[in-house]
């Protein structure tokens, strides 16, 4: 880029530096690109400002006016924050090993010619609208996994996580987490795949030359190299799962509880799902309360994403790949 800029300014002459001629087209064009850039800054500032402005009435309101009459706003948002994090973490725990497996399959196991097509196939999962995932989750997945839940509760019920009685509909937080896991698979897979493909070829060949089997090569050369990439990919996936709305709103039968059990019918709901379910009928201060919970969600996802970006950028600077 530097060379492009140098050639853009006028050629050096004996009299010293001469500024390039200011053309009207140049000024208008560069001006409009800068304006577009500023619009993004302004929009993000507006998102923060207007969310905060609309949240303040909720924070100073009498808690008795809030739906369900909690002790305070924070008592209202607490279980929601817990549910959001809990569902997202389970989803990540399910999705991450599978995503790493798929990424390895595409980058190191599948026949070269098929690899790209298989990648598209996984990307198609990302294209399915979330409302369709919700419909699928409740009509297909929930009945499908229920027998499995029965088995878990009878055989592993002594683990508190799996204690019964099993929800009769299968609409539990575990089902939600499975749907969320499917939804965040593509993004984690795509990033991991990129990172694995960047592993220096020489590292891999050196491992193989020393007599490593393919798995030993992956364990000693590919995975250590890709670790920061895997971490940031999982953070981005977590961010996705935290903000996902419709699948949770449709599949879960919600309750305002803090509970770790996975299979029962009393499940903590998430911030996003709670907003989607209550917003259409909300009025007065309850609208502000919902916006305030949205602000809390914004802050959480912002933190998670910023951490992920930090990990990615740090990696960019120090990896030998590029």
Residues 120-159 that bind other proteins (CB under 8 A): 120-125, 127-136, 138-141, 144
Point out which span in 102-110, 162-170, 251-259, 314-322 binds other proteins (CB under 8 A).
102-110
Binding span for other proteins by CB under 8 A among 157-165, 166-174, 193-201, 296-304: 296-304
Helices 285-318 and 73-104 meet at what angle, rounded to 10?
40
Stretch that binds other proteins, among 73-81, 162-170, 206-214, 260-268 (CB under 8 A): 206-214
For other proteins, the binding residue among 88, 176, 275, 311 (CB under 8 A) is 275
Q: Which residue's entry shows tokens 């850039």?
A: 37
Is residue 302 within the footprint of other proteins (CB under 8 A)?
yes
Strands 267-268 and 254-255: parallel
Exposure class string for 161-198: b at 16+ Cβ within 10 A, else e: ebbeebbeebbbbbbbbbbbbbbbbbbbbbbbbebbeb
What character string, x for contact with other proteins (CB under 8 A) and - otherwise, covers 18-47? -----x-xx-xxx-xxxxxx-xxx-xx-xx
Q: What 8-state DSSP symbol labels residue 69?
A: -
Closest to other proteins by CB, 239 or 268: 239
Specify whether the CB–CB gap between 178 and 249 falls below 8 A: no
Residues 161-180 close enough to bind other proteins by CB under 8 A? none
Binding status of residue 255 toward other proteins by CB under 8 A:
no
Closest of 93, 95, 92, 101 to residue 222, by C-alpha: 101
Q: Distance (Å, rounded) from C-alpha 141 to C-alpha 100?
A: 23
The token pair that represents 51 in the structure block: 């969310």
- Interacting residue with other proteins among 66, 85, 87, 100 (CB under 8 A): 100
Closest CB to other proteins among 54 and 259?
54
**Residue 279 near other proteins by CB under 8 A:** yes
Q: Which is nearer to other proteins, 95 or 173 (CB)?
A: 95
The residue from 189, 234, 264, 267 that contacts other proteins (CB under 8 A) is: 189
Is the distance from CB of 90 to CB of 83 less than 8 angstroms?
no
Least separation in angstroms between residue 109's CB and other proteins is 6
Compute CA 172 distance to the chain's CA centroid, rounded to the nearest angstrom: 21
- 80, 102, 184, 251: which one binds other proteins (CB under 8 A): 102
Per-residue tokens: 91: 């989803």
Q: Which is nearer to other proteins, 166 or 295 (CB)?
A: 295
Among 180, 242, 262, 289, binds other proteins (CB under 8 A): 242
> Between 55 and 94, how does the x/- string for binding to other proteins read (CB under 8 A)?
----------------------------------------
Q: Of the candidates 45, 85, 54, which has an alpha carbon nearest to the alpha carbon of residue 303? A: 85
Distance CA 293, CA 151 (A): 37
> In 10 A of CB 46, how many CB atoms?
10
CB contact set of 204 (below 8 Å; sequence gap of 6+): 217, 221, 222
- 220, 256, 287, 315: residue in contact with other proteins (rule CB under 8 A): 287
Could you say which of 170, 229, 268, 294 contacts other proteins (CB under 8 A)? 294
Stretch that binds other proteins, among 62-70, 149-157, 253-261, 289-297 (CB under 8 A): 289-297
């Amino acid at each position: 880029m530097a060379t492009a800029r140098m050639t853009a300014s006028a050629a050096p002459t004996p009299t010293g530096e001469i500024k390039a001629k200011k053309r009207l087209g140049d000024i208008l064009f560069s001006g409009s690109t800068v304006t577009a850039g500023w619009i993004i800054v302004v929009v993000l500032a507006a998102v923060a400002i207007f969310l905060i402005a609309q949240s303040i009435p909720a924070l100073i309101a009498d808690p008795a006016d809030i739906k369900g009459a909690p002790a305070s706003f924070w008592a209202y948002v607490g279980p929601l924050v817990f549910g959001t994090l809990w569902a997202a973490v389970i989803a990540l725990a399910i999705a991450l090993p599978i995503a790493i497996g798929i990424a390895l399959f595409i980058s190191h196991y599948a026949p070269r010619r098929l690899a790209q097509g298989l990648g598209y196939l996984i990307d198609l999962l990302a294209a399915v609208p979330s409302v369709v995932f919700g419909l699928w989750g409740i009509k297909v997945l929930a009945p499908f996994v229920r027998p499995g839940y029965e088995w878990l509760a009878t055989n592993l019920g002594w683990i508190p996580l799996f204690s019964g009685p099993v929800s009769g509909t299968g609409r539990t937080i575990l089902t939600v987490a499975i749907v969320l896991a499917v939804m965040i698979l593509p993004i984690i897979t795509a990033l991991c795949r990129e990172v694995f493909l960047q592993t220096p070829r020489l590292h891999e060949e050196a491992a193989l030359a020393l007599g490593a089997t393919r798995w030993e090569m992956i364990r000693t050369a590919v995975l250590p190299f890709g670790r920061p990439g895997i971490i940031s990919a999982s953070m981005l996936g977590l961010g996705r799962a935290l903000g996902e709305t419709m699948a949770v709103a449709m599949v879960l039968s919600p309750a305002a509880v803090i509970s770790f059990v996975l299979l029962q019918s009393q499940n903590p709901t998430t911030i996003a799902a709670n907003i989607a379910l209550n917003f259409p009928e909300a009025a007065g201060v309850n609208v502000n309360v919902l916006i305030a919970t949205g602000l809390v969600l914004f802050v959480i996802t912002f933190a998670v994403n910023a951490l992920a970006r930090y990990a990615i950028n740090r990696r960019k600077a120090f990896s030998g790949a590029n």
